[in-house]
Chains A and B, each alone.
Chain A
Amino acid sequence: MYETLKPATAWELAGMIATCRERRLPIDVSGAGSKRAIGRPMQTAVTVSTLSMRGIPLYEPSELVMSARAGTSLSQVEAELASRNQMLAFEPIDLGPATGGAAGQQTIGGVFAANLSGARRIAAGAARDHLLGIKGVNGRAEEFKSGGRVVKNVTGYDVARGLTGSWGTLAVLTEVTFKVLPWPEDTATIIFLGLTDELATELMQTAVGTPFEVSGTVHLSAGLAGRLRHDGLKSLGTSLTALRIENFTPSVKYRRDSLREHLKVAGFVKAVDLDAHDSIAFWNELRQLSVLPHGQKLLWRISTTPGKGPRIVAAVRRHMEAEALYDWSGGLIWLEVPATADAGAADIRRAVATHGGHATLIRAESAVRAAVDVFHPMAPAVEQLSRRLKTAFDPDGILNPGRMYTQF
């Protein structure tokens, strides 16, 4: 890396990309760099950071919409929203601490570029579902926009949403417009104790299949639960399966009691309640993956059909030790495995291939990330479309080349 450029406007950014394109200089596209340790290592000549494109040009609380320049920190966005009692309902997770960085660094552009959603994703949708519009510059050095500031919009193709999860390989976002929601008035969490992975998944699936709008479901093995900061919970010595309810205060009480009753009938009895204060602290801890701290071990993120989660983990465990944190009713698994040269990729991907879904290597030394497919390998037809899409946005392959895939 030779230099970091920090354009202050989209126009300036377009000029920089034009120059790089002319000289065939590959660009490391970044915000605050909080996710730099994720993805395949790149060889780039220039770093372009969005950090000087900051600020919130539009916030209409009564329309539930905000626009922020891409380099605005997530913490600033969330503070602004909190001042009007609103939030990003998809509860973006912070991968900083888990990948060796500090917490609270990431930019709002990075949140959407990586499509990072937390526990509430099962009820409220993903980051991509909240994105309404973007402005950006592609690898042709063209400034473009897609979508807008209104929720209902099918004018033209959904290019904005199509850029989520592309990790800066298609375009550099300069501004994002997204939907926001009111903070729930109250919240409560029920934690069931000592369930196996299979029973916990059944519990979580049963809970989200009730009318009580469960807005978070996680399962931690006893080992992971012991790493929680929460004093009461970490000393229990059992696995924990948590269900969250959020709503107006009388509803939270009613729904929590109804849910417990419903689950008792299904045979799930032994549980403790967290009040609003402890509940918020517990889910905030999970947003930073505090139980999977940076260290020697490797970290995978697996998305699958919820019921298949425990089977994938069991299949992996036949080959290696693994600690699993289940989110999204069992459909999202954060898997901590020992450091090996191939990161366990062959065994993990075989298990995922059997049951469906995809696996991404989130944390590993750069040599390992250079050697194995970090993002899930694609079927040939999907790969061809993806390659063409890359060409449509970035024909010379100068934006984050090789970060997601070796081929482009």
Chain B
Amino acid sequence: MSAASVGIVMLVHTALERAEQVARHWTAADCPVVLHVDKNVDEAVFQRFRQSLASDPLVRFCTRHRCEWGTWGIVAASQSAATLLLQDFAEVRHVYLSSGSCLPLRPAEELAAYLEARPQTDFIESATTADVPWIVGGLDVERFTLRFPFSWKRHRYLFDRYVDLQRRLGMRRRIPAGLVPHMGSQWWCLTRQTLTAILQDRERARYDRYFQKVWIPDESYFQTLARKHSSRIESRSLTLSKFDFQGKPHVFYDDHLQLLRRSDCFVARKIWPRADRLYQAFLTDGARALTRTEPNPGKIDRIFAKAVERRTRSRPGLYMQSRFPSRWSVKSVTSNRYSVFQGFSELFEDFETWLAQITGARVHGHLFAPKRAELAQGSTMINGALTDCAKLRDYNSQSFLTNLIWNTRGEHQCFQFGPGDRQEIRAVLASDPNAQISVISGAWAVPLFRSDRDFGDVRREAARLQQIEASYLHTLRHRETKARVRIWSMAEFVEAPMEPLQSILDELGHLHPLSTPPALVNLDGFGQFLQNLKNQGMHPHLMGDFPVEQGGLDRAKPPRKPYLVRR
């Protein structure tokens, strides 16, 4: 079967030997090819290239123009080539615009059959400026209303200044009557009728003059004029071409072979010139039965969309050689939610074991204890070969925390914190929306109360811990704190522990009613202990009011709501 009804226009800049290979592939299926070689290509190189294809009767070379990205030259090249193609090959009914780095993925006959079934349809992506999301550089409708005499690639400064100037002076160009600016992919496939109408339009000289000063006219000239002349536009490109976040086309390599095969697209762009396997696979097709499947670039779309997302947003909470966000440019410090408990392991017998059993989370001891990081179950090391060594941890405590949370992603982490720990991590915890911080203020006094240390020591230590905790609470209550914080005074908590515990468990995803609460440590005489501290001139205020006489805790008093700072 012959595919002579499709003519190919190829714009060639580099990798001429690949262009030659592809041109031969088209002509082997009787598709005529008109090549435009960039005028920037050395004359001798061009002549060699021309010679190499001279024997092929279906190949023509058109007038050469200088093609620079975003300039008129590319449109002029397409015009010259298309004119020559329509003139020399009368049987052509559709013209397919491609580049030297395009690769046909399906046999030319399939493309011809596809187009023959849609004889009146123009395949050209074409949308109004208000509706396109892909514009890079912030110029949308201004592409059509300002003038762009300076090259964006070579004279960026002049380009920018002249745009500024025109904006400031309110300079506006008039869009030629009868045209509605449309934009879209540069790679189209138009019918002979539409293309002839565009090329032979009586107003063409005026349109050309106008578009010569439009920015990136290759994405708007045919797209706009097709709207004027076409009877049926299918606004999509038959060429698979994806752009990254800088607006530069993604490149296909050998390892994309299966992906490209499954895409069922007719032509893909851009192919890396040295992707031998791709050229080999797609240009030497065996005698396959023709298929009539619709192009389906969905999977490739997703892969490239993911790449763009990785480059712009990526994996939160990851710090590595090529991602080191400043604190202000990301929402969270860490990758996952975690819970920090202050005062719980002091107030309850074996709180950590209880919490681990009931929630299934990994519950560490005091990760920032001065001697070592108390990892869960007394381990000396955790995922990622992160050790419990205090010196390594304190060398960069934020890295320690972010590493720990990153390494154990997928499993909720809980750890204890308190005024007896290294405090450098405090600011990080407070500023991290992933941190759920629960504090029973003043509970640090319980181990002191139960210890048999010299009372002078105890008093000094109590004063020190209280000072540290007070300043921490101040930080947590600050309006810039992003962690979700709950603070109870110890007295408050002891009076009605069930409600706060239940709310903590709810947060951890444990939604059953609390059946086995942890056991409170024996606090008989704690009130007296506090009174003794007071008598020694130290004023313990963070634990709330504990009466000197024991038993006072049972007094009926309406329970207070937990103090919810932020969630």
Do chains A and B interact in one complex? Answer: no
